[in-house]
Amino acid sequence: MRRDMHPKLTAYMQLARLSNIPTVFSNVLVGVALVWSAGPFPWGTALIAIFAASLFYTGGMALNDLLDRHIDAIEHPQRPIPSGALSLREATVFTTLSFAIAITAVALLAPKATMFALALAAAIVLYDILHKRWTGSLVFMGLCRALVYVLAAAMTAHATARTPDIGEVVLFATLLALYITSLTVVAQKEVQGVLGFRRWLAVAMVFLPFAALLVSAPVSPSWTLAMGALLFAWLARSARLVRQKPPKMLPAILGWLSGISLLDAFFLTFTPHPELALVALGCFAATVWGHRRIAGT
Protein backbone atom coordinates (compact mmCIF):
# COMPACT_ATOMS: atom_id res chain seq x y z
CA MET A 1 0.00 0.00 0.00
CA ARG A 2 2.73 2.44 0.97
CA ARG A 3 4.67 1.71 -2.21
CA ASP A 4 1.57 2.52 -4.26
CA MET A 5 0.75 5.67 -2.32
CA HIS A 6 4.16 7.30 -2.50
CA PRO A 7 4.33 7.90 -6.29
CA LYS A 8 0.68 8.99 -6.31
CA LEU A 9 1.27 11.49 -3.51
CA THR A 10 4.34 12.78 -5.32
CA ALA A 11 2.28 13.22 -8.49
CA TYR A 12 -0.33 15.28 -6.63
CA MET A 13 2.41 17.43 -5.12
CA GLN A 14 3.84 18.02 -8.59
CA LEU A 15 0.40 18.80 -9.99
CA ALA A 16 -0.15 21.41 -7.26
CA ARG A 17 3.40 22.90 -7.58
CA LEU A 18 3.56 22.41 -3.83
CA SER A 19 7.07 23.83 -3.62
CA ASN A 20 5.63 27.30 -4.32
CA ILE A 21 3.00 27.16 -1.56
CA PRO A 22 5.14 28.99 1.05
CA THR A 23 4.99 32.09 -1.18
CA VAL A 24 1.19 32.01 -0.76
CA PHE A 25 1.68 31.89 3.03
CA SER A 26 3.79 35.04 2.99
CA ASN A 27 1.33 36.76 0.62
CA VAL A 28 -1.42 36.22 3.20
CA LEU A 29 0.74 37.63 6.00
CA VAL A 30 1.12 40.89 4.07
CA GLY A 31 -2.61 41.16 3.41
CA VAL A 32 -3.46 40.59 7.06
CA ALA A 33 -0.70 42.82 8.46
CA LEU A 34 -1.69 45.75 6.25
CA VAL A 35 -5.11 46.04 7.93
CA TRP A 36 -4.31 44.82 11.45
CA SER A 37 -2.78 47.48 13.66
CA ALA A 38 -4.11 46.89 17.19
CA GLY A 39 -3.12 44.05 19.49
CA PRO A 40 -1.34 40.75 18.83
CA PHE A 41 -1.24 39.48 15.28
CA PRO A 42 -4.43 37.50 14.49
CA TRP A 43 -2.88 34.15 13.69
CA GLY A 44 -6.23 32.38 13.72
CA THR A 45 -7.59 34.53 10.91
CA ALA A 46 -4.27 34.36 9.06
CA LEU A 47 -4.25 30.54 9.15
CA ILE A 48 -7.79 30.36 7.77
CA ALA A 49 -6.80 32.75 4.98
CA ILE A 50 -3.66 30.70 4.29
CA PHE A 51 -5.78 27.55 4.05
CA ALA A 52 -8.18 29.11 1.54
CA ALA A 53 -5.50 30.88 -0.53
CA SER A 54 -3.39 27.71 -0.71
CA LEU A 55 -6.34 25.73 -2.07
CA PHE A 56 -6.97 28.40 -4.68
CA TYR A 57 -3.31 28.13 -5.69
CA THR A 58 -3.25 24.34 -5.93
CA GLY A 59 -6.54 24.32 -7.79
CA GLY A 60 -5.21 26.87 -10.26
CA MET A 61 -2.04 24.90 -10.90
CA ALA A 62 -4.02 21.70 -11.41
CA LEU A 63 -6.44 23.43 -13.77
CA ASN A 64 -3.48 24.77 -15.74
CA ASP A 65 -2.16 21.25 -16.23
CA LEU A 66 -5.60 19.96 -17.19
CA LEU A 67 -6.05 22.57 -19.89
CA ASP A 68 -2.45 22.30 -21.14
CA ARG A 69 -2.22 18.51 -21.08
CA HIS A 70 -1.94 18.17 -24.87
CA ILE A 71 0.85 20.76 -25.04
CA ASP A 72 2.58 19.23 -22.02
CA ALA A 73 2.49 15.84 -23.75
CA ILE A 74 4.97 17.34 -26.25
CA GLU A 75 6.89 19.95 -24.24
CA HIS A 76 6.71 18.53 -20.69
CA PRO A 77 5.90 14.81 -20.94
CA GLN A 78 7.16 14.29 -17.38
CA ARG A 79 4.21 16.25 -15.91
CA PRO A 80 1.76 14.12 -13.89
CA ILE A 81 -1.08 13.98 -16.44
CA PRO A 82 0.80 13.25 -19.71
CA SER A 83 3.13 10.82 -17.91
CA GLY A 84 0.14 8.85 -16.65
CA ALA A 85 1.02 9.36 -12.98
CA LEU A 86 -2.44 10.91 -12.55
CA SER A 87 -5.52 10.18 -14.61
CA LEU A 88 -7.65 12.91 -16.13
CA ARG A 89 -10.40 12.06 -13.64
CA GLU A 90 -8.07 12.27 -10.64
CA ALA A 91 -6.74 15.66 -11.71
CA THR A 92 -10.27 16.94 -12.37
CA VAL A 93 -11.52 15.85 -8.96
CA PHE A 94 -8.49 17.42 -7.28
CA THR A 95 -9.06 20.71 -9.10
CA THR A 96 -12.78 20.83 -8.36
CA LEU A 97 -12.36 20.03 -4.67
CA SER A 98 -9.61 22.62 -4.25
CA PHE A 99 -11.80 25.43 -5.57
CA ALA A 100 -14.96 24.20 -3.86
CA ILE A 101 -13.38 23.83 -0.42
CA ALA A 102 -11.63 27.20 -0.67
CA ILE A 103 -14.79 29.10 -1.63
CA THR A 104 -16.86 27.26 1.00
CA ALA A 105 -14.31 27.99 3.73
CA VAL A 106 -14.38 31.71 2.99
CA ALA A 107 -18.18 31.79 2.65
CA LEU A 108 -18.65 30.07 6.01
CA LEU A 109 -15.87 31.69 8.04
CA ALA A 110 -15.66 35.17 6.49
CA PRO A 111 -18.83 35.67 4.42
CA LYS A 112 -18.15 39.37 3.79
CA ALA A 113 -14.99 38.33 1.93
CA THR A 114 -16.78 35.87 -0.35
CA MET A 115 -16.91 38.30 -3.28
CA PHE A 116 -13.11 38.51 -3.22
CA ALA A 117 -12.82 34.72 -3.11
CA LEU A 118 -15.04 34.49 -6.17
CA ALA A 119 -13.02 37.21 -7.89
CA LEU A 120 -9.81 35.28 -7.19
CA ALA A 121 -11.32 32.07 -8.55
CA ALA A 122 -12.50 33.91 -11.68
CA ALA A 123 -9.05 35.45 -12.28
CA ILE A 124 -7.40 32.03 -11.95
CA VAL A 125 -9.82 30.34 -14.34
CA LEU A 126 -9.57 33.15 -16.90
CA TYR A 127 -5.79 33.03 -16.88
CA ASP A 128 -5.69 29.25 -17.23
CA ILE A 129 -8.15 29.33 -20.13
CA LEU A 130 -6.65 32.28 -21.99
CA HIS A 131 -2.89 32.21 -21.36
CA LYS A 132 -2.13 30.14 -24.47
CA ARG A 133 -4.57 32.10 -26.62
CA TRP A 134 -4.20 35.76 -25.67
CA THR A 135 -0.99 37.56 -24.72
CA GLY A 136 -2.88 40.05 -22.59
CA SER A 137 -4.05 37.27 -20.30
CA LEU A 138 -0.84 37.63 -18.30
CA VAL A 139 -2.58 40.52 -16.54
CA PHE A 140 -4.79 37.92 -14.90
CA MET A 141 -1.73 36.17 -13.50
CA GLY A 142 -0.68 39.35 -11.73
CA LEU A 143 -4.25 39.88 -10.58
CA CYS A 144 -4.36 36.39 -9.06
CA ARG A 145 -1.54 37.15 -6.65
CA ALA A 146 -2.75 40.67 -5.94
CA LEU A 147 -6.14 39.28 -4.96
CA VAL A 148 -4.47 37.06 -2.34
CA TYR A 149 -3.46 40.28 -0.53
CA VAL A 150 -6.97 41.63 -0.94
CA LEU A 151 -8.69 38.40 0.14
CA ALA A 152 -6.53 38.12 3.27
CA ALA A 153 -7.22 41.77 4.12
CA ALA A 154 -10.96 41.31 3.58
CA MET A 155 -11.05 38.21 5.77
CA THR A 156 -9.22 40.11 8.51
CA ALA A 157 -11.62 43.04 8.24
CA HIS A 158 -14.54 40.62 8.59
CA ALA A 159 -13.01 39.09 11.72
CA THR A 160 -12.63 42.52 13.35
CA ALA A 161 -15.95 43.90 12.08
CA ARG A 162 -14.11 47.04 10.97
CA THR A 163 -13.80 48.85 7.67
CA PRO A 164 -10.06 49.18 7.02
CA ASP A 165 -8.26 51.76 4.92
CA ILE A 166 -7.70 49.79 1.71
CA GLY A 167 -5.36 52.35 0.15
CA GLU A 168 -2.16 50.59 1.23
CA VAL A 169 -3.60 47.19 0.39
CA VAL A 170 -4.26 48.35 -3.17
CA LEU A 171 -0.80 49.95 -3.41
CA PHE A 172 1.13 46.87 -2.37
CA ALA A 173 -1.19 44.55 -4.29
CA THR A 174 -0.48 46.60 -7.43
CA LEU A 175 3.29 46.32 -6.94
CA LEU A 176 2.96 42.57 -6.43
CA ALA A 177 0.82 42.31 -9.57
CA LEU A 178 3.44 44.20 -11.61
CA TYR A 179 6.17 41.91 -10.29
CA ILE A 180 4.21 38.75 -11.15
CA THR A 181 3.22 40.10 -14.56
CA SER A 182 6.84 40.96 -15.36
CA LEU A 183 7.94 37.51 -14.21
CA THR A 184 5.31 35.93 -16.45
CA VAL A 185 6.40 37.97 -19.47
CA VAL A 186 10.02 36.85 -19.09
CA ALA A 187 9.08 33.25 -18.30
CA GLN A 188 7.06 32.99 -21.53
CA LYS A 189 10.38 32.57 -23.33
CA GLU A 190 11.60 29.83 -21.00
CA VAL A 191 11.51 27.21 -23.74
CA GLN A 192 12.72 29.23 -26.72
CA GLY A 193 15.36 31.25 -24.87
CA VAL A 194 14.77 34.23 -27.21
CA LEU A 195 14.47 37.18 -24.84
CA GLY A 196 14.91 40.51 -26.62
CA PHE A 197 13.51 43.32 -24.43
CA ARG A 198 12.88 40.79 -21.66
CA ARG A 199 16.53 41.04 -20.66
CA TRP A 200 15.90 44.65 -19.69
CA LEU A 201 12.62 43.78 -18.03
CA ALA A 202 14.56 41.36 -15.83
CA VAL A 203 16.75 44.29 -14.74
CA ALA A 204 13.70 46.51 -14.13
CA MET A 205 12.31 43.85 -11.79
CA VAL A 206 15.27 44.40 -9.47
CA PHE A 207 14.11 47.95 -8.79
CA LEU A 208 10.33 47.58 -9.08
CA PRO A 209 9.56 46.63 -5.44
CA PHE A 210 11.37 49.70 -4.16
CA ALA A 211 8.72 51.95 -5.67
CA ALA A 212 6.98 51.31 -2.34
CA LEU A 213 9.44 53.76 -0.77
CA LEU A 214 8.06 56.55 -2.96
CA VAL A 215 4.49 56.23 -1.73
CA SER A 216 4.66 54.71 1.75
CA ALA A 217 6.84 55.15 4.82
CA PRO A 218 8.52 52.17 6.49
CA VAL A 219 7.41 51.49 10.05
CA SER A 220 10.90 50.28 10.94
CA PRO A 221 13.67 51.66 8.68
CA SER A 222 16.21 49.16 10.03
CA TRP A 223 13.96 46.23 9.08
CA THR A 224 13.30 47.83 5.70
CA LEU A 225 17.01 48.27 5.03
CA ALA A 226 17.82 44.67 5.94
CA MET A 227 14.97 43.11 3.96
CA GLY A 228 15.50 45.49 1.05
CA ALA A 229 19.17 44.53 0.79
CA LEU A 230 18.32 40.82 0.72
CA LEU A 231 15.59 41.36 -1.86
CA PHE A 232 17.82 43.48 -4.10
CA ALA A 233 20.65 40.93 -4.01
CA TRP A 234 18.33 38.02 -4.81
CA LEU A 235 16.56 39.76 -7.69
CA ALA A 236 19.89 40.95 -9.08
CA ARG A 237 20.99 37.31 -9.11
CA SER A 238 18.06 36.31 -11.33
CA ALA A 239 18.62 39.29 -13.62
CA ARG A 240 22.27 38.30 -14.00
CA LEU A 241 21.29 34.72 -14.88
CA VAL A 242 18.94 35.98 -17.60
CA ARG A 243 21.54 38.28 -19.09
CA GLN A 244 24.14 35.53 -19.45
CA LYS A 245 24.81 34.02 -22.86
CA PRO A 246 23.09 31.66 -23.14
CA PRO A 247 20.55 32.80 -20.54
CA LYS A 248 19.96 30.45 -17.61
CA MET A 249 16.21 30.74 -17.62
CA LEU A 250 15.08 28.00 -15.26
CA PRO A 251 17.18 29.02 -12.23
CA ALA A 252 16.26 32.66 -12.87
CA ILE A 253 12.53 31.89 -12.92
CA LEU A 254 12.79 29.76 -9.79
CA GLY A 255 14.66 32.63 -8.17
CA TRP A 256 11.87 35.07 -9.00
CA LEU A 257 9.26 32.62 -7.71
CA SER A 258 10.98 32.11 -4.37
CA GLY A 259 11.68 35.85 -4.35
CA ILE A 260 7.95 36.48 -3.93
CA SER A 261 8.41 35.73 -0.23
CA LEU A 262 11.39 38.12 -0.04
CA LEU A 263 9.16 40.74 -1.66
CA ASP A 264 6.59 40.02 1.04
CA ALA A 265 9.26 40.29 3.74
CA PHE A 266 10.18 43.73 2.42
CA PHE A 267 6.54 44.85 2.26
CA LEU A 268 5.91 43.61 5.81
CA THR A 269 8.39 46.21 7.07
CA PHE A 270 5.85 48.85 6.00
CA THR A 271 3.18 47.35 8.27
CA PRO A 272 2.69 47.54 12.05
CA HIS A 273 4.20 44.04 12.23
CA PRO A 274 7.69 44.29 10.66
CA GLU A 275 8.88 41.30 12.73
CA LEU A 276 6.74 39.09 10.49
CA ALA A 277 9.43 39.61 7.85
CA LEU A 278 11.28 36.80 9.62
CA VAL A 279 8.36 34.45 8.95
CA ALA A 280 8.40 35.50 5.30
CA LEU A 281 12.13 34.75 5.22
CA GLY A 282 11.29 31.28 6.46
CA CYS A 283 8.79 30.95 3.60
CA PHE A 284 11.52 32.00 1.17
CA ALA A 285 13.91 29.38 2.53
CA ALA A 286 11.18 26.71 2.38
CA THR A 287 10.47 27.57 -1.26
CA VAL A 288 14.13 27.40 -2.26
CA TRP A 289 14.41 24.04 -0.50
CA GLY A 290 11.18 22.80 -2.07
CA HIS A 291 12.32 23.66 -5.59
CA ARG A 292 15.09 21.09 -5.21
CA ARG A 293 12.50 18.38 -4.73
CA ILE A 294 9.36 19.45 -6.61
CA ALA A 295 9.39 21.43 -9.87
CA GLY A 296 8.21 25.00 -9.31
CA THR A 297 7.27 25.59 -12.96
Residue 199 has what pLDDT? 80
* 297 assigned to some structural domain: no
What was the pLDDT predicted at 2?
41
d(CA 123, CA 94): 19
In the chain (297 residues long), the average pLDDT of successive 10-residue segments reads 65 92 97 87 94 97 92 87 92 97 96 96 94 82 95 86 72 96 80 66 93 90 96 96 85 95 97 95 97 83
Is residue 296 assigned to a domain?
no
Is residue 211 in some structural domain? yes
Nearest Cα to Cα of residue 214 among 273, 269, 171: 171
Residues in contact with 176: Cβ distance below 8 Å, sequence separation at least 6, in sequence order: 27, 142, 145, 146, 149, 260, 263, 267
pLDDT at 165: 64
- pLDDT value of position 157: 86
The CATH number given to whatever domain includes residue 98 is 1.10.357.140
If phi > 0 it is left, if psi is from -120 to 50 it is alpha, else beta; for residue 217 that is beta
Is the pTM higher than 0.85? The answer reads yes
Predicted local confidence at residue 215, as pLDDT: 85
Question: How far is residue 214's CA from residue 216's CA, in Å, rounded to a whole number?
Answer: 6
What domain count does the chain have? 1
| pLDDT for 3 | 46
Assess if residue 7 is contained within a domain: yes
Domain contains 136: yes
pLDDT at 137: 80
Residue 135: give the domain boundaries. 2-291
Is residue 172 one of the residues assigned to a domain?
Answer: yes
Residue 124, in any domain of the structure: yes
Q: How far apart are CA 111 and CA 43, in angstroms?
A: 19
